[in-house]
Structure 1
Amino acid sequence: MAAIAQSGFREPNLLMKMASRPTAMAGLLIIIAMIVLALLAPVISPYDPAQLAVRNRLQPPSWQHLFGTDDLGRDVFTRVLYSGRTSITVGFAVVIFASIIGVFLGLMAGFFRRLDAPVSRLIDAMMAFPDILLAIALVAALGASATNVVIALGVVYAPRLARVVRASTLVIRELPYVEAARALGVPTPVILVRHVLRNLTSPLLVQATFIFANAILAEAGLSFLGVGISPDIPTWGTMISVGRQYLDQAPWIMWFPGGAIIITVLSLQLVGDGLRDFLDPRLAKDV
């Protein structure tokens, strides 16, 4: 009976908490739907995203072409789906790459006092440059490709994670259980992974959702400017760049990829806000 009573008062998990916040849950469901649509693009659409059909160019939305066709007769709906693959993949890769760099720099600056000043100045110097300008400069130096876009955006967003990790690490390293682990002779790498990094999961998860959204926007901006991913690969930014030339004649070429960016980024922001409310102890009391 005691076990049953305890199970009845078990604290709800994160997914149940998300379900109690309609906006956060709606954002999560939309993101899942966008990922599924991108993965199933070859099954959903019968067209090839690179297939040219000049006779059908600039056709408005219809049952045959749900989102119409572009200036080369390519199906816009198909290209939006395949572009979602590219944008979501790049965004996820940027989160992973930025997390590796940001967590490493933040742990070094926050845990080791001698490294705090030089690493913090490096982080400040990286954040002094506007995000998009630094990304353009890095992509221009490395070359236009998906890999280089991920590297450039990862370098741009890593300082944000590093500052969050550093601030949290400065607090965690002074806690009694960390001091006890030091006194017992526990190796520093074990302390960093088991005691420090483990307690950074919540703020890292929240920051990851915001970086994911910003990375999708930045990748679209770079592709729109022609300095991002190769034009041969369909991306939302490239589609908007092409569609602006036909804004008066065929506005749907811009509407649908632009709408996909807005929906995806807004959904990620809603998920991030929900995670922040539930994972931050100071805000969780009010939720």
Structure 2
Amino acid sequence: MAAISTPMQAEPGLLSRLVTRRTSLIGLVILAIVALAAILAPLIAPYSPTKLSIANRLHAPSMQFLFGTDDLGRDVFTRMLYAAQVSLSVGFAVVVLASIIGIVLGLTSGFFRKADAPVSRLIDAMMAFPDILLAIALVAALGASATNVVIALGIVYAPRLARVVRASTLVIRELPYVEAARALGVPTPVILVRHVLRNVTSPLLVQGTFIFANAILAEAGLSFLGVGISPDIPTWGTMISVGRQYMDQAPWIMMYPGGAIVITVLSLQLVGDGLRDLLDPRLAKDI
């Protein structure tokens, strides 16, 4: 009797497993809506984000102005859409820059024994300062602009990724396949990229989502304090800063951008928690 062969089922991808979790799916949907609204802002925004209309200043939410207007008559809904572009762009750029710096420092510290002590001391020194204070100091030294905010926050959050990469590299460098690659004369850069970096991708991905959320909060905080992006550019932080002066008269000016920050950061946290549970072998057993 001939044996019946059954095709092997392919293991579902990370995204497929992520959407099976209700909380992660909610986070992905919210994040996709915010990103889509930011991308399509020029098409769906009813007004200009910078055009003044003193006759319509402090106009309450209505059919004409969905989220009301601010102290200069600018449509809050329109400014929120364009502010989403800034927040998401800054957050993503910070993740990229922090990942580059963190990977270089982490691999150097974890793989090369002689460089471990000085690089580790540098990482510890950077993490000794509170994030927001170090960011304010760097932005004050570099100047207020979107690019400098990204550089400052990238430097601030890089040590977190560096410590994750270093911890993983210390373990991976002692594994047999890495020792075998060394014995075969494989160049060190190839070992770092092919054997070490590929195995630290999972914790980097999880940390990246949390840094994305923290970067959005930090950018809003810097803009709120007036040391971040130029006030001419609509950001959620500057909108809240303006709205606090009219909290009793026009609470919608700060209520809607504040809600946007909360929702966006919460969605990133939900996605990050889902990734952590799926990619951590100890937690994945319980799922």
The letter for the 2-side match of 1:285 is K
Please give the alpha-carbon distance, in whole angstroms, between the structure 2 residues aligned to 1:249 and 1:274. Answer: 41
Q: CA deviation at 1:6?
A: 0.9
Task: Establish whether residue 182 from structure 1 lines up as the match of residue 177 from structure 2.
Answer: no
Please give the alpha-carbon distance, in whole angstroms, between the structure 1 residues aligned to 2:235 and 2:106. Answer: 33
1:155-170 map, 5 Å:
155-170=155-170
Encode CA deviations 1:120-150: one digit per residue, 9 max, x unaligned: 0000000000000000000000000000000
1:202-241 map, 5 Å:
202-241=202-241
Q: What are the ranges of 5 or more consecutive residues in structure 2 without an aligned counterpart?
A: none
Q: What's the secondary structure of 1:6's corresponding residue?
A: coil
Aligned twin of 2:8: 6
The letter for the 2-side match of 1:79 is R
1:261-280 map, 5 Å:
261-280=261-280
Q: CA deviation at 1:266?
A: 0.3
Q: CA deviation at 1:5?
A: 3.0
The letter for the 2-side match of 1:235 is T
The letter for the 1-side match of 2:169 is T
Task: Establish whether residue 104 from structure 1 lines up as the match of residue 87 from structure 2.
Answer: no
Q: CA deviation at 1:19?
A: 1.8
Please give the alpha-carbon distance, in whole angstroms, between the structure 1 residues aligned to 2:71 and 2:25. Answer: 38
Q: CA deviation at 1:176?
A: 0.7
The letter for the 2-side match of 1:162 is A
Please give the alpha-carbon distance, in whole angstroms, between the structure 1 residues aligned to 2:191 and 2:107. Answer: 11
Runs of 4+ in 1 over 3 A off after TM superposition: none
Please give the alpha-carbon distance, in whole angstroms, between the structure 1 residues aligned to 2:124 and 2:75. Answer: 45
The letter for the 2-side match of 1:94 is V
The letter for the 2-side match of 1:5 is P
Q: What's the secondary structure of 2:215's corresponding residue?
A: helix
Q: CA deviation at 1:13?
A: 1.4
The letter for the 1-side match of 2:20 is S
Please give the alpha-carbon distance, in whole angstroms, between the structure 2 residues aligned to 1:262 and 1:46. Answer: 24
Task: Establish whether residue 38 from structure 1 lines up as the match of residue 35 from structure 2.
Answer: no
1:1-287 map, 5 Å:
2=5, 4-7=6-9, 10-287=10-287
Q: CA deviation at 1:34?
A: 0.5
Q: Percent identity?
A: 78
Aligned length: 284
Q: CA deviation at 1:46?
A: 2.2
Please give the alpha-carbon distance, in whole angstroms, between the structure 2 residues aligned to 1:90 and 1:101. Answer: 16
Please give the alpha-carbon distance, in whole angstroms, between the structure 2 residues aligned to 1:45 and 1:13. Answer: 36
Please give the alpha-carbon distance, in whole angstroms, between the structure 2 residues aligned to 1:5 and 1:40. Answer: 43
Q: What's the secondary structure of 2:159's corresponding residue?
A: helix
Q: What's the secondary structure of 1:250's corresponding residue?
A: coil
The letter for the 2-side match of 1:141 is A
Q: What's the secondary structure of 1:186's corresponding residue?
A: coil
Please give the alpha-carbon distance, in whole angstroms, between the structure 1 residues aligned to 2:145 and 2:263. Answer: 25
The letter for the 1-side match of 2:90 is V
The letter for the 1-side match of 2:286 is D
